[in-house]
Amino acid sequence: MSKRQELRARRERAQKNQRLLVIIGGVLVVAAIAAFLVISNLPKPVGEITSPDPVTRPQASGHSMGDPNAPVKIVEYSDYQCPFCANFWRDTEAQIVETYVKTGKVYFTYHSFGNWVSDNINSQAGTTNTESEQAAMASYCAGDQEKFWEYHDYLFANQNGENEGAFARNRLDAFAEKLGLDMAAFKDCMDSSKYASQVAQDAQDGVQAITTAPNYDGKGYGTPSFIINGKLINGAVPFTTFQQEIDAALAAAGQ
Overall pTM > 0.85: no
Contact 222, 205 (CB under 8 A): no
Mean pLDDT to the nearest integer, 179-203 = 98
Q: Which of 7-21, 77-91, 155-169, 213-227 has the lowest mean pLDDT?
A: 7-21
Mean pLDDT of the chain: 90
Note the pLDDT of residue 254.
87
- Break the chain into its structural domains and give their ranges: 64-252
Burial class of residue 187, CB neighbours in 10 A (0-12, 13-18, 19+) = middle
What's the confidence (pLDDT) of residue 26? 55
Scanning 97-223, the segments in alpha helix (DSSP H) are: 116-125, 131-143, 148-157, 169-178, 183-191, 196-211
- pLDDT, one tens digit per residue, over 52-110 is 999 999 999 999 999 999 999 999 999 999 999 999 999 999 999 999 999 999 999 99
Rounded to whole angstroms, what are the CA distances from 55 to 28, 52, 152? 56, 9, 11
Identify the pLDDT of residue 255.
77
CATH: 3.90.1150.10, 3.40.50.300, 3.40.30.10, 1.10.150.530. Which one for 64-252? Answer: 3.40.30.10
